[in-house]
Amino acid sequence: MTIRPLVALIVSLLVNGQTSAGGQDHATGAAVQDLPIFDAHIHYKQPAWSAYSVESIIELMDKSGVAMGLVSSTPDEGTIRLWEHAPNRIVPELRPYHGAAGSSNWMKSSGMREYLEQRLDSYPHQGIGEFHIHQLNTDDEVFFREIISLANARDIYLHVHSGTEPIRWLYSLDPTVKMIWAHAGLSTSAEDVYELMSDYPELVADTSLRERDILDDSENLNPEWEKIINAFSNRLLVGSDTWVNSQWDNYENIIDSNRVWLSLLSRDTAEKIAYKNAERLFKREISMDLIGQK
């Protein structure tokens, strides 16, 4: 039996009192519970469909104060099911994976460009992704130029799960491409995250699966991540990454653990990362009024 992190947080706030990262303002503290969350990394993959109905997904979001989420799924039908059920809560994005096309071979899959174009023409996806570039292969340049042009023509994002090198390469193909860097690289060091975000002033990152990097074992901000958060607070989003059903089983805890680090930030910074950056990026209004709505 684990104590939910938010409970632990509130206890620690009562015991210690806190100043925020940067120290100039009071930390958001327990008021973090009032902030609506935009979850920028949701998947509703086929194995989840039988275990979690669309109604139950929205209920989990409601219980966690997640007002809205960016959803991509394998196959895309999962995203569309959720979006059709609750269009005011879901921002759809188009994951390329379907049939035999998966994370390592999707760029080689025949008819992929046509598939993406047909789905983008049929539904209001706000991004292409999340997709993986496990290993940069510059032979894929022609294909990626096509993907970039599909995104640019619609003014939507690429949501890219990769290390730093593919992000630099995609920008080299087109400096105007709009990108969300999934998990801020996942295994990329804080130093390299800082450098990449400095080099590309439009790059947005979601911090899903990074909770244990951002917080140290005593639930204080890691100093290197505090530097990233302070420098790039306009370009960070939180996310859960429901890539397997166990992430849905644990959804409320995952969102709570994000509220723990957000609570250590000033209210202004916490609001931006929790939902205001997403409001700007996706031109949506996000508030707790959405909870209980579809």
Which is nearer to Zn ion, 169 or 243 (by Cβ)? 243
Is residue 93 near Zn ion by the rule CB under 5 A?
no
Q: How far apart are CA 43 and CA 94, in angstroms?
A: 11
Q: Is 161 helix (H, G, I), strand (E, B) or coil?
A: strand
At position 44, the amino acid (one-letter code) is Y
Nearer to Zn ion, 105 or 118 (CB): 105
Question: Are the CB atoms for 184 and 161 separated by under 8 Å?
Answer: no
The least distance separating Zn ion from the CB of residue 93, rounded to whole angstroms, comes to 11
Q: Could you tell me how many residues of this chain bind Zn ion (CB under 5 A)?
A: 3
Q: How far is the CB of 136 from Zn ion (least distance, A)?
A: 19
Which residues in the 240-259 window bind Zn ion by CB under 5 A? 241, 243
Residue 32 in contact with residue 270, Cβ under 8 Å? yes
Binding segment toward Zn ion, per CB under 5 A, in 1-9, 124-132, 212-220, 250-258: 124-132
Phi-psi region of 260 (alpha: psi -120 to 50; beta: other; left: phi over 0): alpha
Q: At what angle do helices 190-199 and 164-173 cross, to 10 degrees?
A: 10
**Length of the chain measured in residues:** 294
Helices (H), 93-184: 112-122, 141-154, 164-173
> How near is the Cβ of 41 to Zn ion at its closest, in Å?
6
213 binds Zn ion (CB under 5 A): no
Site string for Zn ion, 223-242 (x = CB under 5 A): ------------------x-
By CB under 5 A, is residue 130 in contact with Zn ion?
A: yes
Our CB check for Zn ion shows the closer of 241 and 256 to be 241
- For Zn ion, the binding residues (CB under 5 A) are 130, 241, 243
